[in-house]
Structure 1
Amino acid sequence: MLRRTRPGWLLLLAVLSAGLAGPTHAVQPVSFELDVQPLLTSTGCNAGACHGKQRGQNGFQLSLLGFDPEYDYHAVAVEARGRRLSHGAPGQSLLLQKATAEVPHGGGRRFTVGSAEYETLYRWIEQGALRRLPGEPTLQQVELVESQFSLLPGQQQSLKVMATYSDHTQRDVTAQTTYLSNDATVVSAAADGTMTAGKLPGETAVMARYMNRICVAEVVIPQDEMVPAEFYADLPRNNFIDDLVYAKLQKLGIRPSEPIDDATFLRRVSTDLIGRVPTAEEVADFVQSSDPNKREACVDRLLQHPAYVDHWSNMWADLLRPNPYRVGIKAVFNYDHWIRQQFRDDVPYDEFVRKLVTAKGSTWHNGAVTLYRDRRSPDEMATLISQLFLGVRLECAKCHHHVFEKWSQQDFYQFAAFFAKVKHKGTGLSPPISGSEELVYVGTSGTVKHPVSGEVMTPRPLFGELPESVEANADPREALAAWMTTKDNDYFAGVQVNRLWAALMGRGLVDPVDDLRSTNPPSNPALLDALVQHFQDINFDNKQLLKTIALSNVYSLSSLPNESNVGDRLNYSRHYRHRLRAEVLMDSIAQITETPHSLSGMPAGSRANQVWTHRVDSFFLDTFGRPNENQDPPCERLADSTVTQALHLMNSSDIDARIRSDSGRAARLAASDLSSAEVAQQLYLTIYSRMPTDAERQYVVEALDAAQDKRRAVIEDLMWAMLNTPEFSIQN
């Protein structure tokens, strides 16, 4: 303990004395924070799998990735009477003997005797294990000397990382930096910062982390083929989206797929915007129309269609709808009604968020209040609000400095302090019923304390400053909402832009859609920035943004790859195929078979997109990815197809009964005066939203003509077979 309280001149004397001990160890003074802690981080000693985990390892705990230097110094040099260090014989220090595996160590050998790491720790112990040097500078910035790379397949390139300190000095910290590639199959990153390009064209980001500072290298492996600039100049363009996507494709040497025809466009935009396939009549009218602006007119019509409200409300319910067993059925019903009403009223996105964040009143009169009935503590609200409306996943910073970002515990609890005064009045929760009314209001008191220091946190945003127009004594949430929804906050617009882009394009510019961070960069930063600016310029109008995306030429590219873009997963050189949402599939089957749903707790004829709680039983919806009712929001649905889904389509008694219903489409077509060719056309327009090919038409006609009095059975079999094809269930 005395070593920690030495005056500065005694520390300097100890350093000089240690330097006179002999030529083996240089007189360069060693600091814990500048030299030792980076070494503990780079060798993995304070990683989550070792001494950095919550309870440490074998009685020795360090802060995760070195976010708390004071705590770590005490653990290494002071804790347990300093038994880990031997100042008289540094080589006998337990810290060195464990790290070099001279004594048994669960973490194995971290470095060898005589290595640079060993020499640094040896000198530090020999010099008296100094906490700080006199006039020691602090770390200010870490950056890559070069951050943009274009590599050939198999090529290697070394990263170089420089740290800048408060005294304007710089250090090469490449050897003490940790590296992680976002996609090691594209580019791998070795422990020494050497990147190795894979065999195939692609792109990814490589994170370089030195202490709690992070920088990112963007690496591209372009196509071998050189595409003439004229090729991209001649591509059709409808708006700025096309310009920015083509600019990226030109950089990578990727050729986009061919454009789709009108029938495919109508099916794609209908399922994307209103959550159902178009009818046969809608397809026929659209394809036959000669109006040069028919696609824009179609998008405008769909955005005003009543099904738009249900489709997008249902998507937002995944992000907001809580467990009904926890908060109560009536609260969930009111919450769902409130969400749908916002879409009916075309409420701008910023106003929608402000209403949610500042909600107060009765859970039986203001559905938005259910948000606070479910998340009842400031820390719970902080993680939900930051992820949903800023795309910042703060959960890690609740316990320690964020591993992949700049957010600290201080940032987390200052953000949580905005919700410190939220109060609840009523009987509270009583799962699995929770049927009572509850009032949510803002009290006059309430604090959030830092879990380590005990300091009472003042509400502060994650970055920037609160608007000056907000009253100091007002509801703190009002200040938070004002800061979040300002047009200066690109995170707010960015996460919603990314969410809508992913819904229409099959993949977000940032993936996952609500994880915006420097170590997870967008695949096209210029495009994301332009979309954010556009969303802000149109005053956060969701419909207008959807229209802009849907009318871009990029949206109308085919999902069929060419030789150039078959490996592209990030740059929208083709449309990325994805399975239709569970509700879209279920409603489309009901529409195609002309058999309405019968859903418990719902009016007769209700669509799946109108279901207000996941407690409404549906094996079909559960099979195709509807979130479990016990899962906490926000819920991310997996778009992957499964064997269970394929088996359900083939064997479902409900689907079979719909197809064979006496009041269904198959029975109606069989009893009609339509010719075999006309029946074939109706089936393909209804199920695939396109005309049949000559071969397809001929096959159906021959099958129907041969059936004679069994025409209905053939139509039923054809419908069953078509509903079981990827062309029906996959968005092309």
Structure 2
Amino acid sequence: MAAPASVPTCLTLPKLRDLMRLRSIPQLVFCKVILVAGSVSAFSAEVPLHQQIDSLIGGGNQQFEKEAAPLADDATFLRRVRLDLTGTIPTVEEVQAFLADTTPEKRTLLVDRLLASPEHARRMQYVFDTMLMERRRDKHVPAAEWRNYLRKSFLENKPWDTLVQEMLTVDGTDEKTRPAAKFLLDRELKAEVVTRDLGRLFLGRDLECAQCHNHPNVNDYLQRHYHGLNAFLSRSYLFKDPKTKKMTIGEKAEGLVTFTSVFTNEEGKTAPRMLDLPEIPDPEKKKVLYKVKPAKNVRSVPVYSRRLQLADAMTNPANLAFQQNIVNRLWAMMMGRGFVEPLDMWHADNPPSHPKVLALLTKAFQEHDSDMRFLLRELALSKTYQRSSHVSADAEFPEEVNFGVGLLKPLSPEQLAWAMMQATGVTEKTLASVKAKQVKEDAKKGTKQADDPQWQEEKLHEALKGNVTSFVTTFGKVGAQSSRFDASANQALFLLNGPLVQSWLTPSGTNLTARLKKLKTAPEIAEALYLAVFSRLPEQTEIEQVAAYLKVSQDQPDQGLPQLVWAALSSDEFRFNH
């Protein structure tokens, strides 16, 4: 099975699904692949949220269930939810055990187990680091400290509003809380950067084009919206501590925000505000304006801080856009697209596809104190999430926006790295090594510690983070993230000839190619390959394809199996969560 000579042109998602229906070992495929509150229908409090979601998704269309895809089989569901909630594919043993399990509630038990695992916290660390920092280069807060802060927050299941409160109130002076200041410090408090990102990432509205005038294309985005956000931070500035040489945040006690439209020359001014919510006026001036007065090499601290009003205003229940935005983003994470797309272009002319579902989820999210784990659980248990991405060749394919079919999601660089290491046996080998080392170094407590799931996850991540970084460097993109799949020649070459991936394919110890080499028959090899790479059993036609390939490659035994594994890892079925 030779490597592809060239990279195919763009394939649409439906075309990719057509390929996946064939379920053959394909060549390497690269392609380029908004909220108003709706009324919530009355449901009994005894009806689980995930069932309410499914009732509303159909929108009263009696044909919906007939047109929608059926539930995915157990193997597909296991792989999908493992990738979405823990960032990697299941082990062969997990697949075999799940397929053999006849417990009716096994999917619910699986979701609960994954959400409680340390791998889930790491997965959410990756997701929110990418969402909030967009792979920017470090400036003032090391990425490792920030990511550790995120991971610990998700281990604690910290509510979303609490997490945002911390990020927007810290000033960087306390070493214990400094990592949370990365959101503001690494943007250097530049008005045009911070204001835009506050709107995009926390409110779902990209207000950049409303800085100098009302948005020319979006009637909902006004100049006062942009400057109302900017007013929270307009008095703040970066201060370099003369002793530690570290940047922190200082603030002045005075300063107004005024603006002039470059189109109409109309002037305006605003106090801090969230979109169309009331302005937050400064208190009456007092004789003492500062706790720490401005001076040379002194970080000034006012008695009244506009910046400290930002977190309270952002997370205030009256600011519905804040809650709706995170619900939309978590839905997109699980389902493959948001109710509003793009995620940061929420306005009247780009409304949510399912306003009632969004309103239902937002209300439930608020009632559960912004518990992201709760929301992810309900999404994962819904039929909407569990639908197959496959339909019969003669079926009319449901529209993607209706969520009547499972949507393909390209693996993130982190997911791709961990999935490849899991499939090829790198993860298993590394974990065995770190556990053996711990037992050897600590005769009394080593075994107990080595069996602790959180210890295992942390040690495994530490040992393999360099590999993950290599994937992020090659496949990651700086800036706003997209659900589109854009690939480059460098990425193709990384998988085709890169020494890292090639080293995983060379038979060694108990890795996948070494295990395949010990098997005698084509059916055995096909089953072991498909369980390890695709998390499912092969179909008869796939067994026959493997047998045919082994026959033509028997003259090159040292290259045949590595190329077979490479082809599977490079396939569209592996590269997407489906």
Give the partner amino acid of 2:247: E
User: Which residue number corresponds to residue 96 of structure 2?
Assistant: 284
Q: 1:621 aligns with which of 456, 472, 481?
A: 472
Q: Residue 573 of structure 1: SS of its match in structure 2?
A: coil
User: Which residue number corresponds to residue 595 of structure 1?
Assistant: 426
Question: Given the superposition, is the C-alpha separation of residues 255 and 637 from structure 1 closer, same or farther in structure 2, using an over 3 Å criterion?
Answer: closer
Structure 1 Cα separation of the partners of residues 414 and 378 of structure 2: 25
User: Which residue number corresponds to residue 650 of structure 1?
Assistant: 496
Give the partner amino acid of 1:389: F
Q: Mean alpha-carbon deviation: is it higher for 316-325 or for 417-426?
A: 316-325
User: Which residue number corresponds to residue 257 of structure 1?
Assistant: 69
1:393 equivalenced with 2:206 (yes/no): yes
Q: 1:583 aligns with which of 410, 414, 417?
A: 414
1:350 equivalenced with 2:181 (yes/no): no
1:416 equivalenced with 2:271 (yes/no): no
Q: Residue 483 of structure 1: SS of its match in structure 2?
A: helix
1:340 equivalenced with 2:151 (yes/no): yes
Contact 1:466 1:479 in 2 (8 A): no
1:16-415 aligned at under 5 Å gives the runs 239-247=51-59, 249-250=61-62, 255-321=67-133, 327-328=139-140, 330-362=141-173, 364-365=175-176, 366-373=178-185, 374-403=187-216, 404-415=218-229
Structure 1 Cα separation of the partners of residues 526 and 117 of structure 2: 29
1:295-694 aligned at under 5 Å gives the runs 295-321=107-133, 327-328=139-140, 330-362=141-173, 364-365=175-176, 366-373=178-185, 374-403=187-216, 404-426=218-240, 436-451=245-260, 457-465=270-278, 474-561=304-391, 565-566=396-397, 568-595=399-426, 606=461, 618=470, 620-624=471-475, 626-628=476-478, 631=479, 634-636=480-482, 638-641=484-487, 645-646=491-492, 648-663=494-509, 665-670=511-516, 672=518, 677-694=523-540
Q: 2:563 aligns with which of 717, 721, 727?
A: 717
Question: Given the superposition, is the C-alpha separation of residues 666 and 461 from structure 1 closer, same or farther in structure 2, using an over 3 Å criterion?
Answer: closer
User: Which residue number corresponds to residue 11 of structure 2?
Assistant: none
Structure 2 Cα separation of the partners of residues 610 and 239 of structure 1: 39
Q: Residue 361 of structure 1: SS of its match in structure 2?
A: coil
TM-aligned CA deviation for residue 721 of structure 1: 2.1
Q: Residue 530 of structure 2: SS of its match in structure 1?
A: helix
Structure 1 Cα separation of the partners of residues 360 and 459 of structure 2: 45
TM-aligned CA deviation for residue 275 of structure 1: 0.8
Segments of 5+ residues of structure 1 without an aligned counterpart are: 1-204, 206-214, 216-236, 429-434
Contact 1:465 1:483 in 2 (8 A): no
Contact 2:516 2:528 in 1 (8 A): no
Structure 2 Cα separation of the partners of residues 643 and 326 of structure 1: 27
Can you list the C-alpha shifts for 1:157-191, whole angstroms capped at 9, x where unaligned? Answer: xxxxxxxxxxxxxxxxxxxxxxxxxxxxxxxxxxx
Q: Mean alpha-carbon deviation: is it higher for 531-540 or for 404-413?
A: 404-413
TM-aligned CA deviation for residue 367 of structure 1: 1.0
Q: Residue 514 of structure 1: SS of its match in structure 2?
A: coil
User: Which residue number corresponds to residue 200 of structure 1?
Assistant: none
Q: Mean alpha-carbon deviation: is it higher for 335-344 or for 709-718?
A: 709-718
Identity of aligned residues (%): 28
Structure 1 Cα separation of the partners of residues 138 and 78 of structure 2: 41
Q: Residue 426 of structure 2: SS of its match in structure 1?
A: coil
Structure 1 Cα separation of the partners of residues 405 and 462 of structure 2: 31
Q: Provide the aligned length of Structure 1 versus Structure 2.
A: 478
* TM-score, with structure 1 as normaliser: 0.59
TM-aligned CA deviation for residue 722 of structure 1: 1.4
Give the partner amino acid of 2:566: W
Structure having the larger proportion of residues in strand? 1
Can you list the C-alpha shifts for 1:271-315, whole angstroms capped at 9, x where unaligned? Answer: 111110111100111111011110011111111222212222112
Contact 1:466 1:480 in 2 (8 A): no
Question: Given the superposition, is the C-alpha separation of residues 488 and 427 from structure 1 closer, same or farther in structure 2, using an over 3 Å criterion?
Answer: closer
User: Which residue number corresponds to residue 141 of structure 1?
Assistant: none
Structure 1 Cα separation of the partners of residues 575 and 104 of structure 2: 30
Structure 2 Cα separation of the partners of residues 669 and 518 of structure 1: 57
Structure 2 Cα separation of the partners of residues 667 and 683 of structure 1: 9
Question: Given the superposition, is the C-alpha separation of residues 305 and 712 from structure 1 closer, same or farther in structure 2, using an over 3 Å criterion?
Answer: farther
Q: Mean alpha-carbon deviation: is it higher for 454-463 or for 482-491?
A: 454-463
Structure 1 Cα separation of the partners of residues 425 and 64 of structure 2: 48
Give the partner amino acid of 1:406: D
TM-aligned CA deviation for residue 660 of structure 1: 0.9
Structure 1 Cα separation of the partners of residues 284 and 377 of structure 2: 38
Give the partner amino acid of 1:385: L
Contact 2:214 2:221 in 1 (8 A): yes
User: Which residue number corresponds to residue 45 of structure 2?
Assistant: none
Q: Mean alpha-carbon deviation: is it higher for 474-483 or for 415-424?
A: 474-483
Question: Given the superposition, is the C-alpha separation of residues 667 and 573 from structure 1 closer, same or farther in structure 2, using an over 3 Å criterion?
Answer: closer
Can you list the C-alpha shifts for 1:335-364, whole angstroms capped at 9, x where unaligned? Answer: 233222221221100111111122213385
Question: Given the superposition, is the C-alpha separation of residues 638 and 667 from structure 1 closer, same or farther in structure 2, using an over 3 Å criterion?
Answer: closer
Structure 1 Cα separation of the partners of residues 395 and 543 of structure 2: 33
Structure 2 Cα separation of the partners of residues 344 and 466 of structure 1: 36
Can you list the C-alpha shifts for 1:236-256, whole angstroms capped at 9, x where unaligned? Answer: x95111111112654889810
Question: Given the superposition, is the C-alpha separation of residues 610 and 242 from structure 1 closer, same or farther in structure 2, using an over 3 Å criterion?
Answer: farther
Question: Given the superposition, is the C-alpha separation of residues 647 and 522 from structure 1 closer, same or farther in structure 2, using an over 3 Å criterion?
Answer: same
Contact 2:423 2:512 in 1 (8 A): no
Structure number with the bigger relative contact order (C-alpha 8 A, sep ≥ 6) is 2
Question: Given the superposition, is the C-alpha separation of residues 486 and 466 from structure 1 closer, same or farther in structure 2, using an over 3 Å criterion?
Answer: farther
Structure 2 Cα separation of the partners of residues 725 and 265 of structure 1: 19
Question: Given the superposition, is the C-alpha separation of residues 386 and 592 from structure 1 closer, same or farther in structure 2, using an over 3 Å criterion?
Answer: same
Question: Given the superposition, is the C-alpha separation of residues 564 and 699 from structure 1 closer, same or farther in structure 2, using an over 3 Å criterion?
Answer: closer
Structure 2 Cα separation of the partners of residues 517 and 510 of structure 1: 9
TM-aligned CA deviation for residue 621 of structure 1: 3.2
Structure 2 Cα separation of the partners of residues 639 and 666 of structure 1: 28
Structure 2 Cα separation of the partners of residues 608 and 303 of structure 1: 23
Structure 2 Cα separation of the partners of residues 459 and 467 of structure 1: 5
Structure 2 Cα separation of the partners of residues 524 and 589 of structure 1: 36
Structure 1 Cα separation of the partners of residues 491 and 423 of structure 2: 19
TM-aligned CA deviation for residue 680 of structure 1: 2.9
Give the partner amino acid of 2:110: C
TM-aligned CA deviation for residue 673 of structure 1: 6.9
Structure 1 Cα separation of the partners of residues 66 and 158 of structure 2: 39
Structure having the larger proportion of residues in helix? 2
Give the partner amino acid of 2:514: R
Question: Given the superposition, is the C-alpha separation of residues 454 and 568 from structure 1 closer, same or farther in structure 2, using an over 3 Å criterion?
Answer: closer
TM-aligned CA deviation for residue 376 of structure 1: 1.6
Give the partner amino acid of 2:258: K
Structure 2 Cα separation of the partners of residues 471 and 490 of structure 1: 29
TM-aligned CA deviation for residue 467 of structure 1: 8.9
Q: Residue 321 of structure 2: SS of its match in structure 1?
A: helix
Structure 2 Cα separation of the partners of residues 668 and 267 of structure 1: 24
